Structure 1
Amino acid sequence: MSHVSLPHHDVPVIADDAQALAIAEQIAGALQQDSILRDRERRLPHAELELFSRSGLWGISVPKAYGGAGVSNVTLAKVIARIAQADSSLGQIPQNHFYALEVLRVNGSEAQKQRLYAEVLAGVRFGNALAELGTKTAHDRTTRLTRDGEQLRINGRKFYATGAIYAQRIPTSVGDESGVQQLAFVPADSAGLKVIDDWSGFGQRTTGSGSVVFDNVPVDADDVVPFQSAFERPTPVGPLAQILHAAIDTGIARAAYEDALHFVRTRTRPWIDSGNDKASEDPLTLKSFGHLAIRLHAAEALLERAGEFLDRAQAEPNAESVAAASIAVAEARAISTEISLAAGSTLFELAGSQATLAEHGLDRHWRNARTHTLHDPVRWKYHAIGNYYLNEQNPPLRGTI
């Protein structure tokens, strides 16, 4: 079996939900520092990511039976939202780390759980190599896992590999010789594996979501976890992935909203026709902030509600509980998409021309929201939600809802 090099420092094991939330709040200020500069110059946040993962927060979803805090999904979503508020790229980087941990929980063997959970609690970060370019649909995969004597090998190319450039292991979706999808937890320093920093998106610029190339990369059978079967029966894997995306967008929305409040209070001049001495007294500005605040609070409330549904689905997974969780998460995804884009755009309408100056970096909120919310189309969330409530049709199990 393969081993990865563990970090040369001690990583605390967080005990419970309250501690996880407190630590997220504690480090958010440090992670926010220089976030504008990192975005402008595309400085990859290696030091900030070390602070983030050394806090112990990357291990909070490890079940209590394996030494972790086993926090609720309500807490997990709040932690990701808080980090994304500080820096949305840092909020997104561990998304697939937690996703891989859920696949491991649902489909991993006892030995795999013992070993890989222990690595995570020691500070090992998981990236991802799931999506590919050039396939017929976003869910098609051409990367293959084949047998070479006693050795398994991977060949293929991945893109949108968020977190891979920062990871010690890269969970990789591969089709085996029977065409069944597996998830291989590949050590990042494996021979023939190359991570390429070719992500050029105009938003989420420091996620490192570029390419990973596999050229006859060896992988131990002990590091291969069943993947496809997680979507052939009701499991919480799909909604778990999606609630993290909703949390990222909610964090972006909160950051844009808070920056709009601060700018209007401190810099924006009142419009001459308002008859007010301060922009913060303009009645039309007040109406707009009220509209934003309501939708932001609704997004945060739906995110928490989705976490509660997901907790129930994890505790007792069946067709009904997983469908209900998927729909609750889809509702959170829909509204977080809309409010993140609205807050990022309305900010400029309310703050005025000064807000467009590059030194303020306020355009990053809309760019980040627009880029991240393209992960999967929100229009299909509404379709699934309407079909569920009107026709009592459960959403697909494939995890895109």
Structure 2
Amino acid sequence: MTVIDELVSPHDDAPAANATRIIASDEEAVAIAHELAKRLAEEAGLRDRERRLPRDEVEWFSQTGLWAITVPKAYGGAGVSFVTLTEVVKIVAAADPSLGQLPQNHFGLVDVIALTGTPEQKRFFFAEVLAGKRFGNGFSEKGTKHVLDLKTRVTRDGDGYLVEGTKFYSTGALFAHYVPVLGLDEASKGWLAYIPKGTPGLSVIDDWSGFGQRTTASGTVVLENVRVPASHVFPAHRVSDLPTLNGPISQIIQAAIDAGIAHAALADTLRFVRERTRPWIDSNVERAADDPLIVREIGRLHIQLHAADALLERAARVLDEITAKPETSEDDVARASVAVGEAKVLTTEIALLAGEKLFELAGTQATLSEHNLDRHWRNARTHTLHDPVRWKYHLVGNYYLNGVKPARHPWN
């Protein structure tokens, strides 16, 4: 019986249903990700069609221990490499990109704890993550001038903090044990309040209506007079004020999700062309898979996908190399941001292209709603809007041409 079978169909000799596995190595993380992906892929299309929120699947996912793989070894975690982290995210996203996106912010928030937490905060929150607790997010807001124009306030209130505001694009908050909310203090410095589920004044509303990533529940979080103990509040501004890899880490996870979407779209293209697509009348072949023009396009898509995978792995290795150094410099962060930016350009473009080319190569049959193959393009188009890839071209060009270091924030 596999790890996933134990979680999905527990029996008398199995661990308790709420027992969370603690993963010990990079190899174990990748192996479990492959096991999980097989199960998550089974009804991914149905969940998308019906917008059926993956409550059980999220529980399986976090109980495998995969949400805790970046907890440092000093605190009992696997402390996996970024090469492994991106591979795990890509594997899960290829099975179901909505589920692949759910821990996207969680991993970045684990990094915030590692970078800015006190020893007491690290011990407490890392133990929570190892026990299977999940972080959602309350970062972005609608109707403001830009993504860093925040109206939410996190202000001192006696021996704790008071949080007031409204958030949107709150991926994972509906399924979370903690909803970390980003707000500004009186000096416009950013703070993250890790608010436990059920805290008075915290409301999570399932009003996400995006045409892609439909089961991420990326809707609204409302905070009305929410009181948070000081032990649950972190100085988020430090991850950008100081040279850290928090931005590149956030971005490489985004890129891994897009790469997973591209893999899924291309896999479905191959299956459909082999099994259902009719050859064109002028091709003079018996099978669509022997049509030379289709073969040519399949080759081009694979080359572009493999190039995206290669740049993604290269960027992860840059992060691993920098992490191994005793200190991270501004030059290190700039180099990491550029390497991740290069990867993100290609993962964005191949995710969109693979989702669109599927229909051109598979033919009209592929558009039937019974197949729900449009979910690949819808997911790619929705997720890649997180930040504009056109600015990645500018970031990379400005760095190499003019020696300009990228701005430090979660989108670089």
Q: TM-score, normalised by structure 1?
A: 0.97
Equivalent position SS for 2:386: coil
Q: Is the 8 A contact 1:66 1:117 kept in 2?
A: yes
Question: Could you tell me which of 101, 109, 112 is aligned with 1:100?
Answer: 109
- Paired amino acid for 1:333: K
Indicate the residue corresponding to 2:124 in structure 1. Answer: 115
Indicate the residue corresponding to 1:258 in structure 2. Answer: 267
State whether structure 2 residue 232 is matched by structure 1 residue 223: yes
The Cα shift of 1:8 comes to 6.7
Alignment RMSD? 1.1
Question: Could you tell me which of 333, 339, 342 is aligned with 1:331?
Answer: 342
Indicate the residue corresponding to 1:371 in structure 2. Answer: 382
Question: Could you tell me which of 167, 175, 185 is aligned with 1:176?
Answer: 185
Equivalent position SS for 1:359: coil
Q: How does 1:130-279 map to 2 (within 5 A)?
A: 130-279=139-288
After superposition, the C-alpha distances for 1:353-391 in whole angstroms (9 at most, x for unaligned) are 010011111000000000000000000000010111122
- The whole-number CA distance in structure 1 between the counterparts of 2:91 and 2:346 is 17
Indicate the residue corresponding to 1:48 in structure 2. Answer: 57
The Cα shift of 1:147 comes to 3.2
- Paired amino acid for 2:234: V
- The whole-number CA distance in structure 1 between the counterparts of 2:50 and 2:399 is 45
- The whole-number CA distance in structure 2 between the counterparts of 1:258 and 1:136 is 40
- The whole-number CA distance in structure 2 between the counterparts of 1:279 and 1:331 is 35
Q: Is the 8 A contact 1:312 1:321 kept in 2?
A: no
Question: Could you tell me which of 383, 396, 399 is aligned with 2:407?
Answer: 396
CA shift in 2, pair 1:393/1:151, >3 Å: closer
Q: Is the 8 A contact 1:235 1:314 kept in 2?
A: no
After superposition, the C-alpha distances for 1:35-88 in whole angstroms (9 at most, x for unaligned) are 111101100000111111110000000000000000001100010000000000
CA shift in 2, pair 1:106/1:151, >3 Å: closer
Question: Could you tell me which of 276, 287, 297 is aligned with 2:306?
Answer: 297
Q: Is the 8 A contact 2:154 2:184 kept in 1?
A: yes
Question: Could you tell me which of 357, 367, 370 is aligned with 2:368?
Answer: 357
- Paired amino acid for 1:154: V
- The whole-number CA distance in structure 2 between the counterparts of 1:148 and 1:393 is 41
Identity rate, percent? 56
Aligned length: 395
CA shift in 2, pair 1:232/1:149, >3 Å: closer
Q: TM-score, normalised by structure 2?
A: 0.94
Question: Could you tell me which of 345, 355, 360 is aligned with 2:356?
Answer: 345
Question: Which has the higher mean CA deviation after the structures are superposed, 305-314 or 49-58?
Answer: 305-314
Indicate the residue corresponding to 1:91 in structure 2. Answer: 100
- Paired amino acid for 2:250: A
Indicate the residue corresponding to 1:27 in structure 2. Answer: 36
Equivalent position SS for 1:370: helix
- The whole-number CA distance in structure 1 between the counterparts of 2:159 and 2:386 is 38
Q: How does 1:286-325 map to 2 (within 5 A)?
A: 286-316=295-325, 317-325=328-336
The Cα shift of 1:315 comes to 2.8
Indicate the residue corresponding to 2:290 in structure 1. Answer: 281
The Cα shift of 1:399 comes to 2.7
Equivalent position SS for 1:272: coil
Equivalent position SS for 1:309: helix
| Segments of 4+ moved more than 3 angstroms | 147-151
- Paired amino acid for 1:53: S
After superposition, the C-alpha distances for 1:228-257 in whole angstroms (9 at most, x for unaligned) are 121012100000000000000000000000
The Cα shift of 1:180 comes to 1.2
- The whole-number CA distance in structure 1 between the counterparts of 2:209 and 2:229 is 33
Q: Structure 2: 5+ residue runs without aligned partners?
A: 1-15
- The whole-number CA distance in structure 2 between the counterparts of 1:142 and 1:350 is 47
- The whole-number CA distance in structure 2 between the counterparts of 1:211 and 1:8 is 30
- The whole-number CA distance in structure 2 between the counterparts of 1:269 and 1:226 is 59
Indicate the residue corresponding to 1:4 in structure 2. Answer: none
Equivalent position SS for 2:385: coil
Indicate the residue corresponding to 1:126 in structure 2. Answer: 135
Equivalent position SS for 2:263: helix
- The whole-number CA distance in structure 2 between the counterparts of 1:68 and 1:353 is 49
The Cα shift of 1:312 comes to 2.1
Question: Could you tell me which of 6, 12, 25 is aligned with 1:16?
Answer: 25
- The whole-number CA distance in structure 2 between the counterparts of 1:31 and 1:228 is 36
The Cα shift of 1:10 comes to 1.4
Q: Is the 8 A contact 1:164 1:170 kept in 2?
A: yes
The Cα shift of 1:319 comes to 1.1
The Cα shift of 1:151 comes to 4.0
- Paired amino acid for 1:72: S
- The whole-number CA distance in structure 2 between the counterparts of 1:228 and 1:252 is 32
After superposition, the C-alpha distances for 1:287-330 in whole angstroms (9 at most, x for unaligned) are 10011000001111111111111112323311111111111100
After superposition, the C-alpha distances for 1:319-348 in whole angstroms (9 at most, x for unaligned) are 111111111100111000000000000000
